[in-house]
Amino acid sequence: MGDVFKALADPTRRTILDELAERDAQTLFEICARLATRHGLASTRQAISQHIAVLEAAGLVTTRREGRYKFHHLDTTPLREVTRRWPITEEEE
Amino acid sequence: MGDVFKALADPTRRTILDELAERDAQTLFEICARLATRHGLASTRQAISQHIAVLEAAGLVTTRREGRYKFHHLDTTPLREVTRRWPITEEEE
DNA sequence: TTGACAGGCAAGTCGATGCTTGCCTAACGT
DNA sequence: ACGTTAGGCAAGCATCGACTTGCCTGTCAA
């Protein structure tokens, strides 16, 4: 089982989560393309693939196989640990 | 300005936050002692000092000088970025 | 004033990690 | 069948980050 906090430590991985939050069920190549065009990240496919593996180990991303495509889904459930561990002070108005 | 996510990536730093959440306004030596006795962490003072510097740069810890003592305080405000960036799915009952 | 105590600064070591490179397997279309 | 497309595996490199080591500054008490 991976470390949620370590998974969040990398900026590229956080951008991948942003992408999946905006558009669910993307393939690896889609994520690569959109990272390049919309976020200005010029990373190779392998680099992204390894990042996704880390996110998957942390439970932040789940995958679904379909033929030769592999769709990725965002799962924010592990993020509950953050707020559970250190209760966030309420916002003032 | 430091990176909140990178600051949370290290287990020792997370334990320091736990300690400050449980007992506020501790000095560096107090933190060292309690990490050793209560959490089984045998880190040197310098190591802890550097960790606290990272937490401080991330805004998770604030300090208050008083004579030769320096008291540390937990500030969970930066953690809001986590839940703000990726809305956490509601818990099912 | 001198020693003990709380903390800071900086260089060096070493393992972790992000990235590349090269090659491989599997599914689909024509 | 064959080429293309989607993805995987593994070794090598290079940088980053945690930790140590050694020494220095500032505060307080006797």
Calculate the angstrom distance between C1' of D8 and CA of A4: 23
Confidence bin at B93 (pLDDT 50/70/90):
low
Q: Tell me the nearest-neighbour CA distance from B73 into chain A, angstroms.
A: 13
- What is the arithmetic mean of pLDDT over B39-53? 96
Cβ < 7 Å from strand C, B residues 9-28: 27-28
Percent of chain B exceeding pLDDT 90 equals 89
- Tokens found for residue A35: 């990272």
CA B19 – CA A70 distance, rounded (Å): 42
**Residue A53: its H or E element:** helix A45-57
More confident residue, A90 or B89: B89
Calculate the angstrom distance between C1' of C24 and CA of A66: 21
Please report the pLDDT score of residue A92 as a whole number. 61
Q: Tell me the nearest-neighbour CA distance from B51 into chain A, angstroms.
A: 15
Looking at the predicted structure, is the pLDDT value of residue B79 above 90? yes
Residues with CB under 7 A from strand D: A 27-30, 45-46, 49, 68-70; B 6, 9-10, 12, 43-44, 46-47, 50-51, 54, 67-68
More confident residue, B87 or B15: B15
CA B25 – CA A20 distance, rounded (Å): 40
Q: pLDDT tens-digit profile of A4-63?
A: 999 999 999 999 999 999 999 999 999 999 999 999 998 999 999 999 999 999 999 999
- What is the arithmetic mean of pLDDT over B61-69? 96
Query: Strand locations in chain A, DSSP E?
Result: 61-66, 69-74
Q: How far is CA A73 from CA A18, A24, A30, A70, A87, in A?
A: 11, 6, 13, 10, 27
Instruction: State the pTM of this model.
Output: 0.92
- What is the arithmetic mean of pLDDT over B54-76? 97
Looking at the predicted structure, is the pLDDT value of residue B86 above 90? yes
Return the residue matching tokens 């970025």. Answer: B81
Least CB–CB distance from A88: residue in B3, B80, B91: B80
- Tokens found for residue B47: 């190591």
Q: pLDDT tens-digit profile of A52-72?
A: 999 999 999 999 999 999 999
